[in-house]
Amino acid sequence: MIANTLTVILILAGLVFFAAGTAGLLRFPDVYSRLHALTKADNVGLGLVILGLMLQAAGPADILKLLLIWVLVLAAGTTAAHMVAQRTWTHGEFESDR
C-alpha cells in the first residue's frame, strides 16, 4: 500500500518534469536554452519514473536493469546535449538544412 502510494507520487513527479521539458522545448527562444530545459528535465523525469517502478519490481535483477536503463539514458542525454551544442556553436544555429 505504502509502496503503491510512493510509486504514484514518484511517477506523477516524473510526469511533471516531462511536461516541463516539452514546454521548454516549445517555448524557449533558442537552441541553447531548449537544450538546458530538456536534457535536465527529461532525465530527472525518467529517473523519478524509474524510482517509482523500482518499488514495484519483482527482484534485484529487475531493479538493476531499470537502474542500467537510467544510467544509459543519462549518458546518452549528456552526450547528445554536448554534441548538439558543439555543432551549433561551431557551425551556426540557422545552418542550411538543404
Partner 1 sequence: MITFYLMAALFLLATILLGLIRVLRGPGSGDRMLAAQLFGTTGVTILLLLSMTLETPALVDVALVFALLAVVAAVAFVRQHGLPEPSGTPVHQRKNDQKTESDDDR
Partner 2 sequence: MSNLLLVIFDLVLLAGLLGVAWRCLASTDLFRAVVLFITFGLLLALAWVRLEAPDIALAEAAIGAGITGALLLVTLERLRSIAVERRRGRPDQPPDPAGADALLHALHDPPPPRRTFVPALSFALVVGGLMVTALWHQPDAVGLEPVVDEHMGVSGVDHPITAVLLNFRAYDTFLELAIVLIALLGAWSLGRYDRLPARPAPGPILPGTLRLLVPVAIVTGVYILWAGSHAPGGAFQAGAILGAAGILLVLARPRDLPMAPSTPLRLGLTAGVGLFLAIGIVGLFIGPGLLGYPPEWAYPLIIVIEIAATLSIALTLVALFIAGRPAGDDH
Which residues of the shown chain bind partner 1 in the complex (CB under 8 A)?
4, 7-8, 11-12, 14-15, 18-19, 21-22, 25-26, 31, 34-35, 38-39, 42-43, 45-46, 49-50, 53, 56, 62, 65-66, 68-69, 72-73, 75-77, 79-81, 83-98
Q: Which three cell numbers stand for residue 1?
A: 500500500
- Does 79 bind partner 2 (CB under 8 A)? Our answer is yes
∠ CA 67-20-83, nearest 5°, is 65
**d(Cα 28, Cα 26) in Å, to the nearest integer?**
6
Shortest Å, Cβ 63 to partner 2: 16
Q: Which three cell numbers stand for residue 92?
A: 551556426
